[in-house]
């Protein structure tokens, strides 16, 4: 009898936590704490402990801000902030982009995109 081949699915459909890191940021978590409000935590290795972020939906930047980590580079500092952002279009995905602003020219360094969750955390 012909066996039906089922494509191999990865055991874990969730993105592994390791993807939420680069040389500037690690151990990043983002959770929705109430409608249009997200709590973001993690570790940053950024100049003077200052990190910046924007939230976008693929077309527009909907929110921006900065946060301060407990320590500056070369050490890893802890940070935590909440961001209030409302979707422009219901079916869009909100992306938080963490970065360090270059002290020299203001350019973004170490950009790390994190998809913000749709569901409010229990």
Structure pTM? 0.83
pLDDT tens per residue, range 21-70: 999 999 999 999 999 999 999 999 999 999 999 999 988 999 999 999 99
Average pLDDT, the chain: 88
Length of the chain: 122
Q: Give pLDDT, residue 11.
A: 43
- Check residue 110 and give left, alpha or beta (phi > 0: left; psi -120 to 50: alpha): left
Q: pLDDT tens digits for 58-112? A: 889 999 999 999 999 999 999 999 999 999 988 899 999 999 999 899 999 999 9
What is the dotted CATH code of the domain comprising 21-115? 2.60.40.10
CA of 28: how far to CAs of 9, 44, 60, 80, in Å?
26, 9, 23, 10
* Domains of the chain, residue spans: 21-115
């Amino acid at each position: 009898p012909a066996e039906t081949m089922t494509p191999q699915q990865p055991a874990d459909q969730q993105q592994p936590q390791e993807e939420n890191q680069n040389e500037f940021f690690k151990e990043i978590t983002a959770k929705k704490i109430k409608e249009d409000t997200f709590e973001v935590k993690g570790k940053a290795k950024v100049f003077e402990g200052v990190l910046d972020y924007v939230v976008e939906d693929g077309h527009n930047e909907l929110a921006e801000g900065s946060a301060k980590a407990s320590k500056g580079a070369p050490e890893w500092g802890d940070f935590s902030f909440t961001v209030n952002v409302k979707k422009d279009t219901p079916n869009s995905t909100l992306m938080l982009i963490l970065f360090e602003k270059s002290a020299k020219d203001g350019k973004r360094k170490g950009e790390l995109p994190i998809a913000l969750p749709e569901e409010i955390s229990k």
